[in-house]
Structure 1
Amino acid sequence: MIPIRIRRLCDQDLFAQIRTPEAFLSVLYANRGLTDPTEAARLGLGDLEPVDSLLGLERAVDLLADTIREGGHILIVGDYDADGATGSAVAVRGLRMLGAAKVSYLVPSRFANGYGLSPAVAEAAARLSPDLMLTVDNGISSVSGVRRAAELGIPVLVTDHHLPGQALPEAAAIVNPNQVGCVFPSKHLAGGGVVFYLLAATRRHLRDIGWFGAGRPEPNLAELLDLVALGTVADVVTLDRNNRILVEQGLRRIRAGRCSAGVSALLQVAGRDPTRATAADLGFFVAPRLNAAGRLEEMSLGVECLLTDDPERALSSAQVLDELNRRRREIEGEMKDQAECLLDRLSLDGEALPPALCLFGEDWHQGVSGIVAARIRERYHRPVIAFADAGDGWLRGSARSIEGLHIRDAIDRVDRCHPGLIERFGGHAMAAGLTIRLGLLDAFRASFVEVVREQLGDVPPQPEILSDGELPARLLTLETAEALRLAGPWGKGFPEPRFDGTFEVREARIVGERHLKLRLAPPDGDPLDAIGFHFGDQLEQARGHIRLAYRLDVNQYRGVRSPQLVMEYLQLDS
């Protein structure tokens, strides 16, 4: 395990002076750049960034509205991750609410088609005879796929949020806040967020031309926000103020019992209380179950769960997704163990490892390789690409990065320096995917490691955990934990409060095979529980006095609610 430095964001004396929950939260908000405490509460829909600055919006709205008015068939082409699934459900539901006569969807297979609107997917779509193809969470890099759709006589409206490449597809319209020339201020919309904005603009246009009336009431698109919130959290996009509004509004609908049957069912099978749902519940409990469909089977299973209004059918679908997620965890555990063995052959001394890791297992499951890459990255603090055999001589890699390295740009540099080495790629700063030939793995590994070395050196900078400070024992309470849960939404760019401190270990045991459960005593305080997910291999260190970085959360067991520390880092106290 690579040693981690804990850096505090504020002076310890600050917490010692706090006497009210409001003052406590003000300190936490200030650590996240909100110096005006009232700003955190301004999360109404009226505070969203206006839609009109989205480049290409007018053409996209005209195209979509005309197809709706003419009774045309609109085909949604989504993605096989949770953002793609929720975005597809937002599009299907929203278009039907706007009065579209025929809306269907197509989610490419991770295994048969790969990511995005490829020529093969365009040909499969053509067999469904759509009048308009609408991409969700993909399409900005689908130059050849959009061209093939045009050859088949199908106009394509691209909605995406991924970074565009050097060439844009020749689509009928493109809406993407990250395309060159777009001045929309919130660059971090997830795929579902982009679609939601497009639907809102289309509704306004249809309203202006008199489309809605007694026989066709104007819909309340806020009914889609539980799905938008789920996709936004699941895709781990930055929670800027605009995304925080979308997530908070979605969570309010979930807590009020006004969410879709599918989201409610997924919370139920995950054992989460919807009346107290948080962004963490969506990210750590709902999203993995939805993602399991795209990783092991077909994401249409997840989309159908989100589209049905029948609670029984939704629950049945959610139970299938829950079982798939159990299988996914088993596969992930086996692959992670194999990856650890590969690393053992290199070295377990962090300084002797190369600055980046490219791992390959002949029998690895390509649907789980991204999760394995993330686990290895966390353990060794290196950019990691985990490759799995996609068949026919191809390897598909899932890349996960560390702070300081834009992983998509690093792969792009390899591609520019060594044309032909990579078949295709795409992604974000922290995650990306790529396809290469089996025989080119060694050449790619050498090139990628060299690119990373140029940026990070032989050894990446020591990782650090940012802590809001050490909580005094009087704040390690259920009241504090409840206040933190409801003070979000927390997420990337607006991280959930993290604290650190020294505790005496009273009890230590393994639960659920891989998780570490502790009973801890803080200085001058009452004992409380702590849980470390996937911390099972650190049981031997959990003795005497330890230093933790942790989040303070609420544990509910047999109807009893109590404060619980969720461990993020553990070390023996020196």
Structure 2
Amino acid sequence: MRLPNQRWLISSSAPEIVEQLVETTGLLPIMAQVLINREINTPELAQVYLEPESLLLPSPLEEFSDLAVSVELLEEAISSGDKIAICGDYDADGMTSTALLLRALRHLGADVDYAIPSRMKEGYGINTRIVEDFAKSGVGLILTVDNGISAYEPIARAIDLGLSVIITDHHDLPEKLPPADAILNPKLLPSSSPYRGLAGVGVAYILAVTTAQNMGLLKGLTDQLLELFTLGTIADLAPLIGVNRRWLKRGLRKLPKSQLAGVQALIQMSGVSDEQKELKPDDIGFRLGPRINAVGRIGDPQVVIELLTTEDEGLALERAMQCEQINQKRQQLCSKIEEEAVNLIETIPINWQQDRVLIIVQPHWHHGVIGIVASRLVERYGAPVFIGTYEEEEPDKIRGSARGIEEFHVFEALEFCHDLLGKYGGHKAAGGFSFPAKNLEAFKQRLSTFAHQCLKPEFLKPLVKIDAQADFNQLNPYLYGQIDGLQPWGIGNDFPIFWTPNVRVIEQKVVGQKHLKLILAQEDGTEIKAIAWRWSQYFPLPMCLDVAYKLKENHWNGNTNIELELVGVRVPVAAQATKKAVFEINGRSYACSFWESLNELRIRNEQGKVLAVNKGQRIGLLGTRRDNAQKIDVTQPHYYQLIKAAMAALQIEK
């Protein structure tokens, strides 16, 4: 039996607070518990969560100390005809931020252009080459978006050359801030600020709207900026809380009927239904966002900038088709690199459990997509992942991406290694870095030291965070309607996950070569259909399980049904090994266990091989994993003696 290697964190219930929220909000008790798990535990907080427009927002001018200066610098540049240059980034956040400010500043009459550093040749963020090119072309004001907070030397160079600089960024703060004329970064705000969770595009949105308001030219601009804010915020995996939640609820309603030619072309190309009155974060996160992100990873960001700034429907469709083609290539690259990485991890093998961090570096991997692969490896192994590749033009240099887990702070880990690194940046969940190849072993050792400070061995499993226990008879359209009514779900406000114990698997089959389709039932006979994406390696699942899942609507042939999307399974407590023991035979040690519900004896040797046999059967399985185990005749003398010794150790009668 092979099951996903997971750790479950089931939220504790709070009956008194649940009752209070049910009375004041009309939510079902199970949904009130979901809110409590997200620290929405008073009627007042619940009211703001349910109706984000009821939140009294402080003025951005009061929160961002440099916003007034930034608006003044932009107005002066526009009125005097000075050239403004935007330095963006090549991810979805950076490209939507760039497009947003280009649209806004052109609307306001500015002479504005942009540059985005080459991912392949230069890496993340504004650099001295870009600054000097701007100066040569007569730029008077540089505006960074989604970058710049760690670029001390390039910003200092710009100031030396007589240029003004506004930094708009949302990444973690370095010890020494650059000498810019103005810095807008939500990380400079108190943690209680509703603006604290803004992505780069959110900071750009505030700057654009405030400037347009100040100039009396906001009319006709609001919706298009809000749509770009929505695209960039979700695609960047920003937390969907605070002001993000408020503005996203508006933006998600606007997107299906977008007036932007590029957004309409992207929606059409990605197959999002024309009938939807409102998009959901998943539509952006899994359909629109990847098509934008792919271009920045392995293509030319200019494709996306033109897509999101053009008024020409023909050009928009052409650019959306390019995004589609590039995304298909990106998918192929990711699959190939992931397959190679898994093969290396499991055949070398890489002892990431001992290091408490998974570090893998290989030549010829495309560093535009290794961040995606890092995320997939985190999902697979449940450990922080640092993945790198050698620069094509500088083979003595390694560039990489990192993704973390709940208890591991990526940016702090990189800071812990700062003397070994060149450029680096990021936040708690993700980061990027580069360093001389000669530092690789030292980098591995330093990261392992950091990981040992914050990670216990039991943390190194994929985490399933569960909101509440549910019976199948509670899983009805009314519950789903309440879940759907509380959109947007996403980062920082996860889609609810429920669990049900002691479920029987009535039917199961592999579909599409990768997925499992199931019918599950509780003891009272209530049945429900379920899908488990990319779980074919666990087929067949045991007949009795605890299941963790999300609730989904399935539309088929005009019918709508509630189904489960499995995210976790485990052997029920009652079905776990009832007896365990260790024994020796012929000078070798073995561990054994008996699983009463499965009527199965298991014997593990020191090398990790397991012999599994059902009581009374002649044929057993031998191997490190059930899906590749060999069938063994256990009546052979060696195996018979092993089984006899194990049963004696467990005190089981034959």
| Secondary structure of residue in 2 paired with 1:385 | strand
Report what 2:77 is aligned to: 67
| Secondary structure of residue in 2 paired with 1:186 | coil
| Secondary structure of residue in 2 paired with 1:388 | strand
Paired amino acid for 2:59: P
Alignment of 1:222-237 (within 5 A): 222-237=223-238
**Worse overlay, 220-229 or 62-71:** 220-229
Report what 2:68 is aligned to: 58
Contact 1:364 1:388 in 2 (8 A): yes
| Secondary structure of residue in 2 paired with 1:168 | coil
The count of aligned residue pairs is 557
| Secondary structure of residue in 2 paired with 1:267 | helix
Report what 1:149 is aligned to: 158
Unaligned runs of 5+ in 1: none
**Worse overlay, 323-332 or 59-68:** 323-332
Change (3 A) 1:536 1:296: farther
Shift of 1:60: 0.8
CA distance in 2, matches of 1:47, 1:259: 29
Shift of 1:493: 1.9
Shift of 1:137: 0.4
Report what 2:179 is aligned to: 170
CA distance in 2, matches of 1:461, 1:161: 29
| Secondary structure of residue in 2 paired with 1:22 | coil
CA distance in 1, matches of 2:173, 2:184: 11
Report what 1:95 is aligned to: 105
Contact 1:163 1:179 in 2 (8 A): no
CA distance in 1, matches of 2:460, 2:15: 26
CA distance in 2, matches of 1:517, 1:64: 56
Change (3 A) 1:278 1:162: same
Higher relative contact order (CA 8 A, sep 6+): 1
Contact 1:9 1:467 in 2 (8 A): no
| Secondary structure of residue in 1 paired with 2:197 | coil
CA distance in 1, matches of 2:219, 2:255: 22
Rg larger for: 2
Contact 2:508 2:519 in 1 (8 A): yes
Shift of 1:195: 1.0
CA distance in 2, matches of 1:321, 1:423: 32
The answer as to 2:301 corresponding to 1:296 is no
Report what 2:452 is aligned to: 453
Q: Deviations over 1:228-261 (max 9, x none)?
A: 1221122222222211112111112125x13533
CA distance in 1, matches of 2:324, 2:76: 40
| Secondary structure of residue in 1 paired with 2:428 | coil
**Worse overlay, 314-323 or 334-343:** 314-323
CA distance in 2, matches of 1:285, 1:486: 21
CA distance in 1, matches of 2:454, 2:566: 31
Alignment of 1:461-500 (within 5 A): 464-500=463-499
Shift of 1:81: 0.8
Alignment of 1:288-437 (within 5 A): 288-345=290-347, 352-391=353-392, 392=394, 393-415=396-418, 419=419, 421-437=420-436
Change (3 A) 1:59 1:330: same
Report what 2:633 is aligned to: none
Unaligned runs of 5+ in 2: 576-654
**Worse overlay, 70-79 or 261-270:** 261-270
CA distance in 1, matches of 2:213, 2:128: 34
**Worse overlay, 520-529 or 530-539:** 520-529
Report what 1:258 is aligned to: 258
- Percent of aligned pairs sharing the same letter: 31
Change (3 A) 1:343 1:471: same
Change (3 A) 1:311 1:399: same
Paired amino acid for 1:397: G
Contact 1:373 1:400 in 2 (8 A): yes
The one of 13, 23, 35 equivalent to 2:28 is 23
Shift of 1:358: 0.8
Q: Deviations over 1:102-136 (max 9, x none)?
A: 22222222112200001122234445433322111
Contact 1:7 1:464 in 2 (8 A): no
The answer as to 2:68 corresponding to 1:38 is no
For the aligned residues, what is the CA RMSD?
Answer: 3.0
The answer as to 2:141 corresponding to 1:138 is no
Contact 1:422 1:436 in 2 (8 A): yes
TM-score relative to the length of structure 1: 0.89
**Worse overlay, 382-391 or 66-75:** 66-75
Q: Deviations over 1:356-386 (max 9, x none)?
A: 1110122211011111111111222211100
Shift of 1:513: 4.7
Contact 2:234 2:285 in 1 (8 A): yes
Q: Deviations over 1:281-325 (max 9, x none)?
A: 212222111111111112222222222234443333223222222
**Worse overlay, 126-135 or 380-389:** 126-135
The one of 107, 113, 129 equivalent to 1:104 is 113
CA distance in 2, matches of 1:412, 1:388: 20
Report what 1:245 is aligned to: 246
CA distance in 1, matches of 2:415, 2:186: 21
CA distance in 2, matches of 1:142, 1:286: 30
